[in-house]
Amino acid sequence: MVLLNARKGEKEEEEEIIIAAKKGMRLGKYELGRTLGEGNFGKVKLAKNLESGQSFAIKILQKNRIVDLKITDQIKREIGTLKLLKHPNVVRLYEVLASKTKIYMVLEYVNGGELFDKIASKGKLSESQGRKLFQQLIDGVCYCHNKGVFHRDLKLENVLIDANGNIKITDFGLSALPQHLRDDGLLHTTCGSPNYVAPEVILNRGYDGATSDTWSCGVILYVILTGYLPFDDRNLAVLYQKIMKGDAQMPKWLSPEAKNLIKRILDPNPRTRITVAEIKENIWFKQGYTPLDPAEEEDEEENSCTDNEVSSLHDTPSDGEKDPESPTLINAFQLIGMSSSLDLSGFFEKEDVSERKIRFTSNHFPKELLEKLENTVLQMGFHVHKKNGKLKVMQGNKDQEGPGNLSVAAEVFEISPSLYVVELRKACGDPIVYRQLCKKLSSELGVSQSQEKLLDSEI
């Protein structure tokens, strides 16, 4: 990792790292240009190397935001992982610079946008076009796996297209390395994006990183060739039930060979699912395929290294370091709510104010959850109606609905035998009272602090 070591005091350091100029902002040898994107942690700007004239993308991360969001380990993991990877189909990290308040990741600039945008604007690709992109995707993923890197968040948004129409895999913030494996040889952090996550990840019993990545590649292939997702539903519980079944509908226009490959990849049983090595031997995949051997690149001369600029941020234990008896620190639902780069639609749905939905996970059994919900709301002075396993929580006149009469429906969905989703759905009523109700229930049912913050911001 290459970091800029500046220790001449905060004022001198900032002046040395970022110099204002008439033509734009300067970051050492780089001139910063327009903003390419903006997220929860900072911005990504187009930059030009003034010595070579080459364009780069510089990811500017605010250290205080990283600490506040408790994603220090995620950022360190992304930096460490990208420094290992040098492949034509993986976005390259060239160097990392740091100031007292910011981290700057100098990345390869990919000017063709996301594969997601390409499919969204132009629709599905032909099998020959899709096959070429899928071959490159598998090449890149296979290379990562051979390096001991498991991406864990492969999706269309994390696959970029360059000017020549070639793909570049990006965003390794949720990636895992061999040291993150537990004693059983499996990964246990539940993460990823809902529509692309593998069934075994949802079950939260440990999973193989390579096998789960393969599933995500299958979802990407399906979207490339059809223009839509194989498993989709606005209700997160229903979506995960569809994924667990793994029964994706195959359009008539797909060739039998393509259908067969997709079915073998989207096999809900990870033990019988096709492997990356087997995909490379598949008849459909091999058409026009030339295996790629990434050239060995010479180690670049590193600038003065200040790893402590990143390492000094608060460390969090990896999967392998955590006590097996301790609860999982991050699950899919928390990640969805924590990061702006992940889809929020299935977790907190910003609908009309009169129908706000909030969901959170629990390991309590449904009967116990409903009893806890009922006892809590009764203590708060609400009326409760029970019907078909659902609770209707009401305040005020039972026969009227209006701004002063809160009405909330509560329902529990089963994701797996040990994982449940509680959904609160407001029909009408005072948002302040609704906030109080949600915070009380979150306290009683043990919702995480990150979710409580989101309750505050979303209600």
From the list 68, 117, 139, 153, the catalytic residue is 153
Q: Is 59 annotated as a binding residue?
A: yes
Question: Under DSSP, is residue 49 helix (H, G, I), strand (E, B) or coil?
Answer: strand
40 near 21, Cβ under 8 Å? no
User: How does 327-340 read in b/e, with b if 16+ C-beta sit within 10 Å?
Assistant: eeebbbbbbbbbbe
Residue 160: other Cβ atoms inside 10 A = 25
Task: Give the single-character DSSP code of 179.
Answer: G
d(CA 167, CA 144): 14
Sequential DSSP letters for 101-165:
SEEEEEEE--TT-BHHHHHHHH-PPPHHHHHHHHHHHHHHHHHHHHTT-B-S---GGGEEE-TTS
Token digits for 411? 């329902």
Q: What is the Cβ-side half-sphere exposure of residue 165, based on CA atoms within 13 angstroms?
A: 8
**What are the E-state strand segments in 269-344?**
none
Other beta carbons within 10 angstroms of residue 193's beta carbon come to: 24
Cα angle 293, 295, 298 (rounded to 5 degrees) comes to 155
Write out the DSSP string of 18-34. EEEETTEEEETTEEEEE
Q: Catalytic residue at 153?
A: yes
Q: Name beta bridge partners: 40.
A: none
Residue written as token pair 């949802």: 202
Catalytic residue positions?
A: 153
Annotated binding-site residue numbers for ATP: 59
